[in-house]
Amino acid sequence: MKKAVAITSLLALALPVVLASSANASDSKVLGVNSDGSKVRIDYPIDAQTQAIIKEKEKLVQMHKEVRAGKRSKQEVDKGVEEFGKRHGGMKRSPTASSKADDPSTLQTMVSAVEPEAARYSSNYITNLIQEAQINGYYCGPATASAIIKSKGIQASQSQTAAYMGTNTYGETPWYNGTYPMRDALNYYISGSWYSPYGTSVTTTEFKDKVTFDIDYGYGVAGDAYQVPNGPHLNGHPDNQTILHWFAIDGYSAYGDSTHYADPASGCSALTWGNQVPRYSTLTTTKVATIVDGRGIIW
């Protein structure tokens, strides 16, 4: 979560945004809310190497979608993921299951084994992706990265991930600052190139396909919320504010139509509203996709 201060957007007719105070340039400095209440849109560059990796991974996503629909063998996708790992590294998967012990509410999403193939994809969670409360008001990024990395059995404190992403320099973790800090940190700690940015125009279908693929193969997803007044907010977040906030997506239910996430704002004493935020929540995938639209996910 960013420190709450009002600034004037660099864009004409934009309203203040709640974020970190910093003398350094970052993408958040030009984000706010347009005069009509809509989100400010910025297209960030993606280098050719990253574009090639995304293209490879999106082919796997399409194959995985066909598996979920019963139109392709799962073994084909498994082989493709293995080959991707040989080329790009980062094959450190986290264990998954159809419910999550750390969040008893997920037990309600389990289905009977009447249709075993369909049931396989009804719900899935990264079982040991444990919510971490951010240690100060602007460490939502480091807390999100740390939770995802630790789910793979790799130790990384919030201070360490903050240092890697330049969070203290910027007073926040930007979506983009000439590179993608969250992407870079996750890939660094897993020693590979699994993670790539998806944004800033986010659709429900693409969000769902990418998240279910990553979760099914044991990779938590970092979501970057761009919440505006009168628009959807994460559970417990003040809905009358513009809030930029990283959170960890760790599962899905309802065959991908609902998204489960761990919110680092929960338990953060530096946020006056942190105690009203649940550690874990489930929202419709359409709602979460709308919340991250304008920023995106690192998947």
Question: What pTM was estimated for this model as a whole?
Answer: 0.89
Within a domain: residue 200?
yes
Print the SS3 string covering 59-102. Answer: HHHHHHHHHHCCCCCHHHHHHHHHHHHHHHECCCCCCEECCECC
Q: How far apart are CA 51 and CA 296, in angstroms?
A: 16
| Lookup result for tokens 């750390």 | 102
Q: How far apart are CA 22 and CA 29, in angstroms?
A: 9
Within a domain: residue 21?
no
First to last CA, the chain: 20
Within a domain: residue 137?
yes
Mean pLDDT by 10 residues, the chain (299 residues): 34 36 39 85 95 98 95 95 94 87 76 51 96 98 98 97 97 96 98 97 98 98 96 96 96 97 98 97 98 97
* pLDDT at site 118: 54
Q: How far apart are CA 128 and CA 97, in angstroms?
A: 10
DSSP result, 179-212: S-HHHHHHHHHHTB----EEESS--HHHHHHHHH
- Whichever domain contains 227, its CATH number is 3.90.70.10
Within a domain: residue 96?
yes
Domain count, the chain: 1
* pLDDT at site 60: 98
Phi and psi of 100, rounded to 5°?
Answer: -130, 115
Angle at 212 between CA 164 and CA 145, to 5 degrees: 15
Within a domain: residue 117?
yes
Within a domain: residue 84?
yes
Within a domain: residue 33?
no
Structural domain for 62, as ranges: 45-298
Within a domain: residue 25?
no
Residues 6+ away with beta carbon under 8 Å from 14? 8, 32, 33, 34, 35, 40
